[in-house]
Amino acid sequence: MFKKLRKQIILIELAAFLFVTIIILASINIVSHNQMNKNAHQVLVMLSENNGQLKQSDNIYNKYKNYDIGFNAKLNEETPYNTRYFYVELDKEGNIDNYNLNHIAAISDKDVAKFVKRIYRLPRDEGSVSTYRYLKKETDSGMTIYFVDCYMQNKYVSYIFKISLLVGFICMIIILLVVYFLSGKVIKPMEKNMEQQKQFITDASHELKTPLAAISANVDVLELINDNPDSIDTTKKIKRQVSQMSTLINEMLALARMNSMESKNEAPVSINVSSLLEQQIDDIMPIVKSKDITLHHEIANDLSCMGKLKEISRLFSVLLDNATKYCTSGGNINISLAKEGKNIHFKISNSSEPIDKHDLEHIFDRFYRANKARTRAEGSYGIGLSIAKAIVENHNGKIVAKNVADGIQFSVVIPQK
C-alpha cells in the first residue's frame, strides 16, 4: 500500500512539474518565434516603403528609429550590412521583370524563380519560404515581393528550443530524485504508524481471546450444573455473543496479517484455482439447499495462478459466504471462472435488492455495512469484503462490485503470474 502511495506521490509531483515546465518552455519558444517574425516583418515593411533599400539616410533613421529589427535591436548604421535581403519585381501575369540580389550571396537565379513560383498564387501576403520571410506589395506594373533572410534568427530560436528541452529534462531528473527522496521521508512516519496500528490490533486480539475463551468455558460449566430453563436461555445468548466476538477478532487478525510484511514476503506457489473453487462450492451446498437457492456455475478446467493458497482460498470463501448469506430465499447464485488473456476472471452474483450507489462505493471499506440491522443479525461486521479486497490487491488484481439485473455481482481479476 505504501509503495503504491509513494508512486502516486511521485507521479503527481512529476505531472505537476511537467505541466508547469511545458507551459513555461512553450511560452518561451512561442514568444521567441513570434518576436523573430515580428522583427522580420519590420524590416520587410521598411524595404517595401523604401523601394527595397536600407540606405543610410537621416530620413530613414528618423522614420524607423523605434523599429525592432532583431530581438530588440534598433535601426542603426550597421543595419544595411547586417541584414540580408532581396526583392523581385513581377508583371501583372506573374512573370519576373527584375530582381535585386546585391544584398545577399546565398540566392541564385534558380532560387528566385523557385521561390516566386511557390508563393505567387498563395492568398496570404506575408509568410515564410525556406529560411526567408516574404512580403508581397501590389504595384502599378504588377507586384514586388520582398525577402529577408532569417537563417540566423531561425538557428537562434532552434537553439533556444533545444537548450530549453535539455534544461527541462535535467530539471525533471533533479525533481524526480528530490521527490523520490522526500516521498520516502513523508511515507516513513505513516508506514510506522500503520505498522503500530496493525501490531496493536494483533496484540489486542490475542489479549481478547483469552477472556473470551474463559467466558465460553464458564458458560459451558453453568449449562451443565444448572437445569433452570431461564438460565440455560441466558447462557445460550452469552455463548452466541462470545461466538460473534470471537469471529470479529479472528477477522481483525486475518486483516492485520493480510497487510503485514510477513504476508507480503511469503513466497507464491502454483494454485489450481478451478479445483479449489469447486471444493469450496461443495462445502456451501448444504447452506444453498437449506435456503432453496439455485446455484449455477461455469468453471474452466485446470486454471492455475501463482499466489498464496490460504489467501486465495479465503477470497473464495468470503465471496461465497457473502453470496449465500445475502441471497434471497429461493433466489439464484451464478458463478463463473474463466481465463481472459493473461488473467483469471472470477464472477459471482446473487439475487438481492439493488444496493444504493453510495453504499457500493464504500462496500469494501472496513466495518462498513449497507444494512446495519440485517448484517448484525447475520453475524457480519463488515470486514469480510475488506479482507477480499486486501487479498486481491496483494495479488496485483482488481475487485469491483456492481448492481446487475436481478441482484449484485462481484468481479475479480487476478493475473496468472
- Tell me which residue of 316, 401, 317 sits closest to 365, measured CA to CA: 401
Q: Which long-range contacts (CB under 8 A, 24 or more apart) does 249-254 make?
A: 249/205, 249/208, 249/209, 249/212, 250/205, 251/381, 251/383, 251/384, 251/387, 252/201, 252/205, 252/383, 253/201, 253/202, 253/205, 253/206, 254/314, 254/387
CATH 3.30.565.10 residue spans of the chain: 267-415
- The more confidently predicted of residues 354 and 61 is 354
> Within 10 Å of residue 132's Cβ, how many Cβ atoms?
24
Grade residue 335 by pLDDT with cuts at 50, 70 and 90.
very high
| 5: Cβ contacts below 8 Å, ≥ 6 apart | 187, 190
Q: Give the per-residue pLDDT at 382.
A: 63
Sign of CA dihedral 128, 131, 133, 137: negative
User: If you average pLDDT over residues 101-112, what whole number do you get?
Assistant: 88
| 163: Cβ contacts below 8 Å, ≥ 6 apart | none
User: If you average pLDDT over residues 125-131, what whole number do you get?
Assistant: 89
Grade residue 145 by pLDDT with cuts at 50, 70 and 90.
very high
Residue count (the chain):
417
CATH superfamily, region 267-415? Histidine kinase-like ATPase, C-terminal domain (3.30.565.10)
Q: Give the per-residue pLDDT at 347.
A: 93
- The more confidently predicted of residues 254 and 396 is 396
Grade residue 187 by pLDDT with cuts at 50, 70 and 90.
confident
pLDDT above 70 for 217: yes
pLDDT above 80 for 191: no
pTM: 0.49
Q: Give the per-residue pLDDT at 229.
A: 66
pLDDT above 50 for 373: no
d(CA 29, CA 21): 12
Q: Give the per-residue pLDDT at 410.
A: 92
Grade residue 89 by pLDDT with cuts at 50, 70 and 90.
very high
Q: Give the HSE-up count for residue 137: Cα atoms under 13 Å, Cβ half-sphere.
A: 20
Q: Determine what percent of the chain is predicted with pLDDT higher than 70.
A: 76
Q: Which three cell numbers stand for residue 213?
A: 475463551
User: If you average pLDDT over residues 232-260, what whole number do you get?
Assistant: 69
As separate numbers, helices (DSSP H) first and strands (DSSP E) second, the chain gives: 12, 12
> Within 10 Å of residue 101's Cβ, how many Cβ atoms?
17
d(CA 86, CA 144): 11
d(CA 262, CA 73): 70
